């Protein structure tokens, strides 16, 4: 089994693109945290809207220069920041099954993890020529160990992105950030949301941690743990500082 962050790098010309993954139980506040982290940065490319939107207080066009400086004690780095929420990869049939209390099978989960990883790579490829990110931030639950392991496995090898007249190799080390929020708190938040796909038609939260498939699996690899009960802006500041350190080392 691969460990989180393991990567096979075969070329000295390979570019490193760190990927930070905010994960946790449904309702833990992952997307809220990601948005708060984004607010700490001046510029970000995000898939929160139907089309990518560059955000700097107000929306600006994709053609504008988009960077912001991250500083450490020895140097200043220019960083381009890409945010992807993998909830957009959940097919309609799977959401409908969630609302009926039907959890994806192992085969379906592995297929989703593979599709999600390919989605991330394709999004990087699509924007690489006009917006070269220095770091990607992903938000998704990753409830099961098999989902995490499969996603990690998908980034063990370099992948190619188009760059002018040639392909460029990208290597991504995964950095995991756990939004650790209690089951009770998560359930309460989901019940307050309108139209969440973990609810059934009677507005009851069906993802009870009774059956093993629904249980948020223990995290067995290195990760940054955040207390989900702490203020979101505090956790966002911790994550942003963590990202600064990662970028400075890249």
The domain spans of the chain are: 15-90+104-188+219-249
User: What pLDDT is recorded for position 43?
Assistant: 45
Please state the CATH superfamily assignment of the domain spanning residues 15-90+104-188+219-249 in this structure: P-loop containing nucleotide triphosphate hydrolases (3.40.50.300)
CA distances from 28 to 31, 114, 124 (A): 9, 24, 27
Identify the segments of the chain with pLDDT beneath 70: 1-14, 40-80, 165, 193-212
Q: Specify the pLDDT at position 205.
A: 46
pLDDT at 139: 95
> What are phi and psi for residue 46, nearest 5 degrees?
-130, 150
Sign of CA dihedral 130, 133, 138, 144: positive
pLDDT at 57: 29
Burial (CB count <10 Å: 0-12, 13-18, 19+), residue 28: buried
Q: How far apart are CA 228 and CA 29, in angstroms?
A: 7
User: How many alpha carbons fall within 13 Å on the CB side of residue 121?
Assistant: 22
Question: CA dist 56 to 43, 65, 68, 203, Å?
Answer: 5, 11, 10, 36
Burial (CB count within 10 angstroms: exposed 0-12, middle 13-18, buried 19+), residue 146: middle
pLDDT of residue 11: 33
pLDDT at 33: 94
């Amino acid at each position: 089994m691969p460990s989180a962050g393991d990567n096979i790098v075969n070329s000295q010309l390979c570019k490193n693109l760190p990927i930070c993954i905010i994960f946790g139980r449904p309702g833990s506040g992952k997307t809220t945290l990601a948005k708060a982290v984004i607010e700490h940065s001046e510029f970000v490319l995000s898939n929160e809207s139907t089309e990518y939107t560059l955000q700097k207080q107000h929306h600006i066009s994709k053609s504008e220069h988009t960077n912001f400086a991250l500083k450490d004690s020895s140097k200043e780095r220019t960083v381009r920041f890409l945010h992807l929420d993998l909830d957009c990869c959940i097919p309609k049939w799977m959401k409908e099954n969630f609302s009926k209390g039907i959890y994806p099978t192992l085969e379906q989960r592995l297929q989703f993890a593979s599709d999600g990883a390919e989605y991330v790579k394709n999004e990087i490829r699509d924007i690489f020529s006009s917006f070269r990110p220095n770091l990607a931030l992903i938000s998704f639950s990753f409830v099961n160990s098999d989902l995490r392991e499969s996603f990690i496995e998908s980034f063990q090898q370099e992948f190619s992105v188009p760059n002018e007249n040639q392909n460029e190799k990208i290597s991504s080390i995964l950095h995991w950030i756990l939004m650790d929020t209690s089951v009770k708190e998560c359930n309460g938040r989901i019940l307050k949301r309108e139209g969440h796909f973990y609810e059934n038609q009677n507005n009851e939260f069906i993802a009870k941690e009774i059956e093993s498939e629904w249980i948020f699996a223990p995290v067995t690899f290195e990760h940054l743990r955040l207390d989900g009960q702490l203020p979101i802006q505090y956790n966002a500041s911790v994550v942003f500082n963590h990202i600064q350190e990662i970028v400075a080392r890249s």
